[in-house]
Amino acid sequence: MSSTYLGADGGEPIGVAVVGAGYWGPNLVRNFQSSPAFQLRSLCDLDLARARTVLGRYTTVAATDNLDDVLGDPAIAAVAIATPAGTHVDVAQAALKAGKHVLVEKPLAANYADALGLVELARDCGLALMCDHTYCYTPAVTRIREIVRSGELGEVHYLDSVRINLGLVQRDIDVLWDLAPHDLSILDFVLPDHVRAVEVSAHGADPIGAGRACVAYLVLKLSTGAIAHIHVNWLSPIKVRTMIIGGSKRTLVWDDLNPSQRLAVFDRGVEVATSDELGPDERRNMMVSYRSGDMVAPALSEKEALGQMVAQFATAITTGAPSPTDGGSGLRVLGILEAASSSLAAGGAAIAVSGGRR
């Protein structure tokens, strides 16, 4: 029946397989099925029964536990990988070598070196390598990117992100590696290209004896001198997901748990007079003034992030143009995470970020 369907651009839909039927895989399955640009060919998992359960009783999509079947199928042009993080590099490498475009669940790989290998391999093969940084494709974050990069806020002075919740304590990674990739990929997505993290300090605690940090604070020094701070926490009974982006002209507040008003742009701030404008006495007393203007909450569309991300993957495959969350973005996130882990191990000492260029 698939041959009667055409993709979004009127061409044949792109054959795709999802690898990994765990926590995230079902979401990819659902969204690839909804996308006119793709034809979902199969779902692959080492646990065949799980793959079958995810597909359900009413499906025509094939389940398989053999990755080679997927990679050897010429009707499959793209592979979406949602396996455990430690296996990303192997599956992605095999897929790229088999000539498939690749979408990888965050993080791109378990470490910077592996990720760099993937980025280079994709580039050499001329294939799309994209990270599923889903948050970047929410209407809110897409709009934040527009607002920040248009200069509407002025120069970015500081960013403060909080992502706390009662979260699943992971067996293999700490809270930094579990949650901070979301914040870091958003920062990478919304900030202008010339702004990058140059130095990281991280502090953490493991108050429940889980064997890894369950509460962590990350301080980033950006190349412009601005500061970014990220608070991630698995132990909070209240859920908070806010980001403040303070600019020289305006400040943006994103509260992802307030669906009726996710974004607010405040025309308020502190202004410092330059010394030229002031006489000697004034300089002492009037250095700082306040601006108290209106707040605007921009209207947002209601598109599902994952659907947008899948559409972007199709565009990257079709046009060859890299997506804003391509392999390079996943690489930069890993560079910061590795520096953060080093800082955590060194009691919070500032560590330089490698590979921060964009």
What residues between 107 and 166 interact with its own copies by CB under 8 A? Answer: 157-158, 160, 166
Report whether 132 contacts 80 (CB < 8 A): yes
Cα separations in angstroms, 178 against 22, 169, 172, 175, 263: 16, 9, 10, 5, 25
Pick the binder of its own copies from 345, 349, 352, 357 (CB under 8 A).
349
**How many chain residues are in contact with its own copies, going by CB under 8 A?**
77
Q: Quick check: 5 binds its own copies (CB under 8 A)?
A: yes
Q: Quick check: 49 binds its own copies (CB under 8 A)?
A: no
Q: What are the structure tokens assigned to 107, written together?
A: 């993080």
CB of 80 to its own copies, least distance (A): 16
CA distance 130 to 168: 26
Q: How far, in whole angstroms, is CA 351 from its chain's centroid? A: 22
Pick the binder of its own copies from 74, 124, 260, 280 (CB under 8 A).
260
Q: Please tell me whether residue 223 adopts helix, strand or coil conformation.
A: coil
Q: Quick check: 225 binds its own copies (CB under 8 A)?
A: yes
Site residues for its own copies, 298-317, by CB under 8 A, read 298-299
Determine whether 51 is exposed, middle or buried from the number of CB atoms within 10 Å of its CB (0-12, 13-18, 19+): buried
Pick the binder of its own copies from 87, 93, 223, 248 (CB under 8 A).
248
Pick the binder of its own copies from 187, 266, 339, 341 (CB under 8 A).
266
Residue with Cβ nearer its own copies (124 or 302): 302
The four Cα atoms 179, 183, 186, 190 give a dihedral, to 10 degrees, of 180
Q: What are the structure tokens assigned to 138, written together?
A: 């929410």
Site residues for its own copies, 165-184, by CB under 8 A, read 166, 168-169, 171
Q: Quick check: 56 binds its own copies (CB under 8 A)?
A: yes
Q: Quick check: 280 binds its own copies (CB under 8 A)?
A: no
Q: How far, in whole angstroms, is CA 248 from its chain's centroid? A: 26
The four Cα atoms 20, 23, 92, 343 give a dihedral, to 10 degrees, of -150
CB of 22 to its own copies, least distance (A): 14
Q: Quick check: 93 binds its own copies (CB under 8 A)?
A: no
Q: Please tell me whether residue 263 adopts helix, strand or coil conformation.
A: strand
Q: Which stretch binds its own copies (CB under 8 A): 69-77, 102-110, 233-241, 308-316?
A: 233-241
Residue with Cβ nearer its own copies (120 or 267): 267
* C-alpha closest to that of 134 among 80, 197, 205, 200: 80
CB of 171 to its own copies, least distance (A): 7
CB of 57 to its own copies, least distance (A): 6
Residue with Cβ nearer its own copies (125 or 169): 169
CA distance 306 to 192: 23
